[in-house]
Structure 1
Amino acid sequence: MANVKTNKKTQEKKATDKPVLIDFKKPEYYLNRQLSLLEFNWRVLQQARDNSIPLLERLRFLCIFSTNMDEFFEIRVAGLQQKVELGAQHNEPDNTSPKQILKRISQRAHDLVDEQYQLLNSILDENLADENIRFVRRTQWNSCMDSWLKDYFDNELLPIISPLALDPAHPFPRILNKSLHFIVSLKGKDAFGRNSGLAIVQIPRALPRIIQLPHEECDCGPDDFVFLSSVVHAYVGSLFPGMNVKGCYQFRVTRNSDLYVDEEEIDDLLRAVEGELGSRRYGDAVRLEAAHDCPDAICNYLLDKFELSEQDLYKVEGPVNVNRLNEVYDLISRPELKYKPFVPAIPSKVTLKSDIFESIRKQDILLHHPYESFAPVVDFIRQAANDPNVLAIKQTLYRTGPSSAVVNALVKAAKLGKEVTVVVELRARFDEQANISLAAKLQEAGAHVVYGVVGYKTHAKMLLVIRRETQHLRQYAHLGTGNYHSRTARLYTDYGFFTSNKKICEDANRVFHQLTSMGQTKNLNKLLQSPFTLQDTLEAKIERERQHAAQGKDGRIIIKLNSLVDSEMISALYQASSDGVKIDLIIRGMCSLRPGIPGVSENIKVTSIIGRFLEHDRVVYFKNDEKPEVFISSADWMERNLYHRVEIATPIENKVLQDRIINELEYYLLDNTHAWIMNSDGVYTQAAPENGKEAFVSQEKFLEDLAESS
């Protein structure tokens, strides 16, 4: 079998001993990917506990955890529930059935949610109060607050809220995904003399969930806030005149938000995606969040309506959507409670006043965002749009954000008569509607827009400019690890690479031709592409490193990814480790590989960096017997990226840039503050300075070395 090999160490035993074959696909060698993702969310949650992080940033991490958990249930849990309904059994390397995974997820997720609200109510609330930032509960309102909030309810809420009594003429309503609702228990006769029972109150999403009190009118501090849910609780009786409110309980339901497009039946991907977007808001329910004091009878009633079980119920003491506390961050101007601002540097090689094409002709250019500015990328497209010598621009777009400067430059280029081709991925999760809109905008300007390949998301990050210079055409490329999104370029770490290398640019053009013509691509010179050459080539390079180690040479691999779950790649890493290759994995999120297994992965170390910026770049380094190879890539090592998406990996062959990337990878491995080290059981331990050593934070080192002070 391909994944079974002889462990070299066992061959050193007596000659009479038979070598032991190691099956690198044993289920016990793999961690479950979904549970691993939950542990990543736990590491994010711990940032809210970290006193070394500015207070309002800690509140933000609490909100990020909330958003992460929403998506986890909308996509991951929803997918597992569908598998259970279809009767699916074991299909993960750890040999755990979907039903078993769901049970373990429920146990762990309940613990995490309890910790989240304990952090909010017992730690952050007190820390914020010490800074005169208060969430004022109903029991703490003074008469001035009560009067102002009653007016707010009457004038801002009452006119737009439509309470719905539940009776045969008013059946239980369709509840919008992740929207705030209240279930109200009533007593007394309604307007038509009937006994009242239950009612539903839906709160429009347009309403703020946090209300900042006017301190002069309310006799309170300038940074005092009230939850919208508290206001509804206090005055909900106004919605039901003549009846008595016995109880009012907030709840929120999370639904399956993954789009399903039958790729064998569709003939128009755009219309198919548009048709599915509406159903996302009312997919199957996967989680119910309810107030901690909601009676069991009402909880059971809601569970029955949403066809959920008790393990899907999460009772919370606080707002059901903690993410809306993000509003507080923007409402408070307290720089000392936030991260110190910085200005992304613009390297002298690509100053915005320079001819960027001349700069790229002189040498390859590497940018490390967010420490270095994304502006040169936008300027590259703008110069291309305005340059009369530029004949064509080709680009992939996965996520771009609203009012994108990148899209605006492409629109201008098309209007000026340049050949503009854009591969828009309509199925970029939660950005589908935005991508449909930008595709229409580009088409109206005269650009050629294609929607990738049915069945294979286009996740590659490529931008190609074809320019006439003297008597020939020259191509310029930008290839990166992140999206062409100006906002996330300030929040995510990514590499962007400019080159006019003929072979790399020719490869990029061949990939574009493949995406538009669907023709078979000739062998690429430099780029690796999934679903064709990426996985096989990487596995071959891992095997080459293993052979070096088996020959007594210094085998060394460093891999930085968002996720590592593909069993074929993990098996290859296990094989290399068992023959002595030293492997460092810097994996932010999901990691199914277990380090430290004797004879299997004892030469592998797994580190996760959780800090101010979301670690998003994918980088691979092979020592290759002192002839190093470095690749930056759009692809994580997951089945979907390696076999079911269009991805690319770009070699960095310039020695100076190679050395820079290798050094920056080593910085991550030196981090002794924001690094989390995985134990062999999958549990992570936060690193800490030892023996009087100074704290070293990789992201702060990059800010110091690369960015400018504000």
Structure 2
Amino acid sequence: MSLTPATGNNSLQSKEEPTPPEVSDSLNNEEPLRITDLSNPEYYINRELSHLQFNARVLEQPLNDNYPLLERLRFLLIFSSNLDEFFEIRVAGLKQQIAFAREKSSIDGLQPQQALDEISRICHQMVQRQYEILNDVLLPALAEENIRFLRRSQLNAKQAAWVSEYYYQQIMPVISPIGLDPAHPFPRLANKILNFIVSLEGKDAFGRETGMAIIPAPRSLPRLIRIPDEVCNGGDNYIFLSSIIHHHVEDLFPGMTVTGCYQFRLTRNSDLSVDSEEVEDLARALQGELLARRYGDAVRLEIAANCPKELSTFLLEHFGLSSDELYEIQGPVNLTRLMDICNAKERPDLLYVPFSPGFPKIIQKKNADMMQAIRRSDILLLHPFESFTPIVDLVRQAAKDPEVLAIKQTLYRTGSNSELVDALVEAARNGKEITVVIEIRARFDEEDNLLLASRLQEAGAVIVYGVVGYKTHAKMLLIVRREGKKMQRYVHLGTGNYHAGNARIYTDYSLLTCDKSLTEDVHKIFQQLTGMGKVVQLKKLLHAPFTLKKSLVELIYKEAHNAKEGKPAHIIIKVNALTETKVMKALFRASQVGVKIDLIIRGICCLRPGIPGLSENIRVRSIVGRFLEHTRVYYFQNDDAPKVYCASADWMERNLDNRIETCFPIENPKLVSRVKRELDIYLTDNCMSWQLQSDGSYTLNTPGEGEDNINVQQKLLEKLGS
């Protein structure tokens, strides 16, 4: 069996897992392994707990004085958003396992209830720390910069008058308090919406004495209101909607006594469940699920810390939650509403210094002919340090080029206002054959993608929703152009989405090429996605769910063979997550025979490094900084004939088994050397990198005595930016 991906007649077109007997036998016969049972749960880290460790690293960023103040606040809000999604998807999934008696232990041996207990313990600590950072560090620092969030008790007469006028004009007309009695049952509250529970005394006009009411804050109202400069003594002054409602709550219950008013927020299961094999129209079924998402099963209750126990207990019982699922909050229950402050442009001194992405020399000329440039040489871009504009320009030029006959593209996350989509619409209206594979199940982007699909269809594009049972996660763009008597293909392959906004804050590689074999491979995958047939035979691309996992394991074992033969053996993997069991076991075996393995994993890592006799040759680091690390890069030293791949796939079961993914080789020797140099900077970073310890904790790498500070993202900005 070949240990490298086939380059001609592809022999790896199978979903069967690789069983390389020459590797396992040679390892066991020539040099018995010190640890042979690789299924021991002690060698692995729980997926959910590793996920929380990433959030913990994000939570440390607001304390870093090297970041501008509003960027430190932004990190705190990102943590809050991440934790919301963790509860909506991961915690909800564990609870469903228990509810439907489908419990199974994770790779580290934890049962779902054990995992939930540990998640609760950790999350309560993290949330407490989050609000301590907000109240004790960030808000005082913001106040020193004349950015204030005023409490009701801090309003002077002039400010209070303005707030009251705002309440009566903007809030009271749309707010609907709901008294709880047999005729007014508990309202159906949407996911993550601000609400108030109010305790009352007295009888209303109808003689009712309910004692309790719920006030849902209308979603149409802003959660943070800027108080005009003319009623303040300078600076930027804000007040929360919750404070305004609380200040006027008695006006909503005339003649009754309000004895308490407490904000709360409910988090619900937000994972969509569409049985794609049971529906005739996936798009229509998904639209129905989107409406239901706001009202999934409850998974968490956040409430003001001063709320009496009897009220919080009442809410817990109503939503079917336990006391472990109650989070008492020392501040606003939805911190992500503060993101508007971070995005405001009034205080550039408190934000990152703007940067201009660079352009390779081959396309630095204004209005450069992109296809002509690609014909001269493969182009590799590293976003956001290098601009995403060349990809947009390529599609724009193709849309106008009379010789371009067809454009095919995958869209996973694109954004509601996409220049790329505009160009595809123009191309369709210009009579070109436009085929777009839209993944309408991209989590939390489903609605935008449905709207994009409708817009493209109206322009005349052919829209396909991928393959039933598999998400289309590959990032591919194919342009077919008539050049003389032949058809020439141009391709873009990427590690990230076709989202210009994300390309400014996510790190991702883009390859632009007209290589005959690669472009043919991409064309075949599009045919497979839009049509039907057997597994396609590819020449260079690795392709999940068919060849990618098998090929990765074989590449790892090839390094193991080289190490045993005394040849150079080094593996560098940069992905967002590592959870796939067979891949981890292959890495363990390679480590045992001396392969040096460096894993740069932003988020979840279930592999436990540093175990004697097993993983002492594996180092795992995570980079958390200004940009979200998103590149997927695989480097294999291969006896000093390096093999380098970029991919859309992380090393997770869902990517390798249940998604359409592409993994493309970087073959130009100059580009191979470039990728290796850039990976080396990541491995030497001592400012933003965290090292995973064998106990599952992370420690921040810092410069040693006499060492220079190495900030990988800053280095790449200086090297590649303009």
Normalising by the residue count of structure 2, what TM-score does the alignment of the two structures yield? 0.95
Partner of 1:665 in structure 2? 679
Question: Which residue identity lines up with residue 189 of structure 2 in the other structure?
Answer: I
Partner of 1:511: 525
Q: Which amino acid aligns with 1:37?
A: H
Q: What is the alpha-carbon distance in structure 1 between the residues aligned to residue 307 and residue 125 of structure 2?
A: 19
Q: Which consecutive segments of 4 or more residues in structure 1 shift more than 4 A?
A: 1-12, 18-21
1:318 aligns with 2:326: no
- Work out the CA distance in 1 between the residues paired with 2:493 and 2:33: 46
Mapping for residues 469-618 of structure 1, pairs under 5 Å: 469-618=483-632
Residue 244 of structure 1 deviates from its aligned partner by 0.9
- Equivalent residue in structure 2 for 1:433, among 442, 447, 453: 447
Contact 2:35–2:613, Cα closer than 8 Å, also in 1: no
Equivalent position amino acid for 2:219 in 1: R
Alpha-carbon offset, residue 348 of structure 1: 2.8
| 1:372 aligned onto 2:364 | no
> Matches of 2:344 and 2:559 in 1, distance apart?
53
Q: CA deviation at 1:2?
A: 8.6
What is the CA–CA distance in structure 2 between the aligned matches of 1:592 and 1:196, rounded to whole Å? 52
C-alpha separation in 2, matches of 1:568 and 1:139: 59
CA displacement 1:548-589 (0-9 Å, x = unmatched): 001111210000000001111100000000100000000000
- Name the structure, 1 or 2, with higher relative contact order (CA <8 Å, separation 6+): 2
Q: How does 1:309-458 map to 2 (within 5 A)?
A: 309-331=322-344, 333-351=346-364, 352-458=366-472
Query: Does structure 1 residue 63 correspond to structure 2 residue 77?
Result: yes
User: Aligned to 2:176, what secondary structure does the other structure show?
Assistant: coil
Q: What residue number does 1:275 align with?
A: 288
Q: What is the aligned partner in structure 2 of residue 304 from structure 1? A: 317
Pick one of 234, 237, 243 that aligns with 1:230. 243
The answer for the alignment partner of 2:229 in structure 1 is 215
1:263, distance to aligned residue in structure 2 (A): 2.4
Q: Distance in 2 between matches of 1:77 and 1:20?
A: 37
Query: Unpaired segments of 5 or more residues in structure 2?
Result: 1-18
Identify if the C-alpha distance between structure 1 residues 640 and 473 changes in structure 2 by more than 3 Å, giving closer, same or farther. same
Q: Higher mean Cα deviation, 188-197 or 169-178?
A: 188-197
SS of equivalent to 1:36: helix
**1:227 Cα deviation after fit:** 1.6
In 1, are the aligned partners of 2:192 and 2:267 still within 8 Å (CA)? yes
Q: Cα distance, 1:141 vs. partner?
A: 1.6
Q: Is the 8 A contact 1:255 1:284 kept in 2?
A: yes
Q: Which amino acid aligns with 1:287?
A: R
Query: Are the counterparts in 2 of residues 507 and 527 from structure 1 also a CA contact under 8 Å?
Result: yes
Taking the aligned partners of 1:196 and 1:142, their CA distance within structure 2 comes to: 35
1:111 partner letter: Q
Cα distance in 2 between the residues matched to 1:9 and 1:146: 78
Helix, strand or coil at the partner of 1:23: coil
Q: Secondary structure at the match of 1:158?
A: helix
Q: Determine the C-alpha separation between the residues in 1 that align with 2:405 and 2:277.
A: 37
The 8 Å contact of residues 573 and 633 in structure 2, kept in 1 or not, is answered as yes
1:212 CA drift (Å): 1.6
Secondary structure of the equivalent of 1:311? Answer: helix
> Do residues 255 (structure 1) and 272 (structure 2) align?
no
Contact 1:7 1:22 in 2 (8 A): no
Distance 1:175 1:363, change over 3 A: same
Please tell me whether the aligned partners of residues 468 and 474 of structure 1 are also in contact (alpha carbons under 8 angstroms): yes
Tell me how far apart the structure 2 counterparts of residues 208 and 486 of structure 1 sit (CA, whole Å).
Answer: 27
Supply the distance in 2 between the matched residues of 1:227 and 1:628 (Cα, whole angstroms).
56
Shift of 1:518: 2.2
Conserved? CA contact 2:567–2:639, under 8 Å: yes
Q: Is the 8 A contact 1:253 1:287 kept in 2?
A: yes
Distance 2:327 2:267 in 1: 11
Q: Which moved more, 1:564-573 or 1:350-359?
A: 350-359
Deviation of 1:8 after TM superposition, in Å, equals 6.8
Native 8 Å contact 1:7 1:20 kept in 2: no
CA–CA distance in structure 1, aligned partners of residues 418 and 623 of structure 2: 29
* Equivalent in the alignment of 1:199: 213
3-state SS of 2:196 partner? strand
How far has the Cα of 1:20 moved from its partner? 4.8
Structure 1 unaligned spans of 5+: 13-17
Tell me how far apart the structure 2 counterparts of residues 282 and 478 of structure 1 sit (CA, whole Å). 40
Q: Distance in 1 between matches of 2:122 and 2:369?
A: 54
Take 2:343 and 2:629, find their aligned partners in 1: how far apart are those partners? 23
| 1-structure distance, mates of 2:352, 2:642 | 37
Equivalent residue for 2:10?
Answer: none
Is the Cα–Cα contact under 8 Å of residues 528 and 536 in structure 2 kept in the other structure? no
Q: CA deviation at 1:269?
A: 1.0
| Residues 6 and 20 in structure 1, CA contact (< 8 A), matched pair in contact too | no
CA change 1:192–1:2 in 2 (3 A) is farther
Q: One-letter code of the match for 1:411? A: V
Q: Does 1:700 align with 2:714?
A: yes
Deviates more, 1:554-563 or 1:81-90: 81-90
Corresponding residue for 2:662?
648
* Structure 1 letter corresponding to 2:266: V
Using the aligned pairs only, state the percent identity. Answer: 55
Are 1:211 and 1:228, in contact at CA under 8 Å, matched by a contact in 2? yes
**Structure 2 partner of 1:146:** 160
What TM-score do you get using the length of structure 1 for normalisation?
A: 0.97
Q: C-alpha displacement at 1:522, in angstroms?
A: 2.7
Q: How do 1:89-100 residues align onto structure 2 when only pairs under 5 Å count?
A: 89-100=103-114
Q: Which amino acid aligns with 1:29?
A: Y
Contact preservation (8 Å) 2:632, 2:648: yes
- Contact kept, 8 Å, 1:546 with 1:579, in 2: the verdict is yes
Match of 1:634 in 2: 648
In 2, Cα distance between equivalents of 1:286 and 1:32:
20
Counterpart secondary structure, 1:406 = helix
- How far apart are 1:410 and its partner, in Å? 0.7
Find the aligned partners of 2:283 and 2:594 in 1 and give their Cα distance.
Answer: 50
Alpha-carbon contact 2:34-2:614 (below 8 Å) kept: no
SS of 2:63's partner is coil
Cα distance in 2, alignment partners of residues 57 and 205 from structure 1 = 26
Q: Tell me how far 1:268 sits from its aligned partner.
A: 1.4
Match of 1:15 in 2: none
Secondary structure class of the residue paired with 2:536: coil
Contact 1:673 1:697 in 2 (8 A): yes
Q: Which piece of structure 1 moves more, 175-184 or 186-195?
A: 186-195
Number of equivalent positions: 702
Kindly indicate whether the alpha-carbon contact (under 8 Å) linking 1:254 and 1:288 is maintained by their aligned counterparts in 2. Answer: yes
Cα distance, 1:89 vs structure 2: 3.0
Q: Give the drift of 1:5.
A: 5.8
Contact 2:264–2:333 at 8 Å: present in 1 too?
Answer: yes
Matched, 1:36 2:50: yes
Q: Alpha-carbon deviation of 1:347?
A: 2.3
Judged with a 3 Å threshold, the aligned counterparts in structure 2 of structure 1 residues 86 and 209 are, in CA distance, closer, same or farther, namely: same
Letter in 1 for 2:246: H
Contact 1:7-1:578 at 8 Å conserved across structures: no
Return closer, same or farther for 1:6/1:595 CA change in 2, 3 Å cut-off.
Answer: farther
SS of equivalent residue, structure 2 residue 492? strand
| Structure 1 residue 9: Cα displacement | 11
| Aligned-pair CA distance for 1:6 | 8.4
- Offset, 1:356: 0.8
